[in-house]
Structure 1
Amino acid sequence: MNQISIQNTNSDYFLKSVSKPFYQILVFNGCGKFEINLTHYEFTGYTILFLTPYQQFKWLDTNKTELQLIQFHGDYYCIEYHKNLISCNGILFNNIYEKPFFKIDKVYFDEICDIIDKMKKESRNEIESPFTNSIIKSYLQLILSISSKEKSKYLTNIKPNEIPNEDLVLFQGLLEKHYKTERSVAFYASSFYLSTDAFSKKIKKQFSKTPSQLIQERVILEAKKLLHLTYKSIKEIAQELNFEDEFYFSRYFKKIVGVSPSLYRKNVGISIVAK
């Protein structure tokens, strides 16, 4: 398995749903629509997008958009291992409450594209060097650093009417507390004295996702974490996430992710920080 690839491509490459065992960074400019895990998004301007392993991505526009694409395996660059250097986990990747992309200024767009060009040039170097891998990783780390800084600025510049109200913050707190044991929308709606329909509309307006999607994504996010960052068996993970048995957990996971927990672990690997 190729541990990292850097390439120019276009939106035609993503017209079908793409799901891979890599972290992916897409850099592009224009306007259009795409789908991530069945949620539709629109973009305009200079954009950078971050996908985690086996996130399903599909381009919805027929207009061709040119992209820069970086794909890397967790064994090549572990975002958890480097978290003391780059805090991108939860900012760029693995945040179910925020959009996995954001708009950047042209100056940073050009800077990131320039770094990608340097990565491609280094990877094509015909003279083998023991430093090539280190140089490419340093460039990758620089892109993640710039992106984390810009994403943090982006989040602090959200307009007041776009800031989640107290009820939505409360929902996030409830979900983080109860996702392992409570997967019914009715449970969360009852905390707000709302019907499931009214509650679902309220949540979808803010997050572009239904409560059911958010509950599923939170469970799957934890499942992926346990598969990648621990040596726990599938049975132990199923028990920790309060599934009836490992077979029901496997069906649940495969229906949402597209692959079984065992295949996910095999292809994504177990992190060097696993305990």
Structure 2
Amino acid sequence: MIQLEPINGFFKREHALQALYPMRMLIVRDGAGFLCMNSGDYPLLKGRMFFIPEEGLVRLDGEITSGYWLSFSSLLYAEFLLQHLDPQAKNLFLNLSFRDLDLHRSTKTYQLLDQLKREINSKSDISFLAQYLSLFLGFTAGLDGYLAAFNLDDLQQVLRFRAILEQFYKQERSVQFYAEGMGMSAGKLNKFLDRVLGKSLVVLIKDRIMREAEELLLHSDYTVDEIAAQLGFEQTVSFSTSFRRHKGMSVLQFSRLT
């Protein structure tokens, strides 16, 4: 579902780059020449990241001294879209686009890529990789501007928290449970989350549960009772009350809108 490989050497436009998955990125650490697409030729510059649409062959004409070639499945991309609902996220791979990274952001980007490569090689859980990729895309595309101010340790801690939350949000509501998973006290974890995400753990858990509820209501044939049970509610009325508080409308009203 994800492929990440270092890329370097001389390339001729007669030969297309191969990708295992439809969503593609070229990260140029250092190089010169052109990325050649049907829409035109784009210079390969130091610190330039390309977001490449599914359609069209990817050809290079020039030399890449150091870089990465990344491709991933639409399923992994869907998690990123769930966390980033603005049009910029939806349009990220619609047409070819690129971002030029300054030295500070480039350093973090390559550190994140190196770590992602290690996670792939160690066969990390796919839900963890989905969270990692979502963080990476949000950071590099400039959609999560607040992440730019964090050091690498903070970014890794955010990633670890998201992975734990993704795995356990349906059944675990205890602050202590997540604190132990993060190796922190409950107070320290809440202070960290408030600093980096601007929300408490309780709010983050509720947000994730309600996001899943919306997805199930929109894209499944489960009954409201079944959805409530899947999301860890002992009674459907508790789920319905929480949903109304979160969305400002009842489950029935939401279902009618969609």
* Larger RCO, structures 1/2 (Cα 8 Å, 6+ apart): 1
Q: Going by fraction, where is helix more abundant, 1 or 2?
A: 2
TM-score, with normalisation over the residues of structure 1? 0.44
Bigger Cα Rg: 2
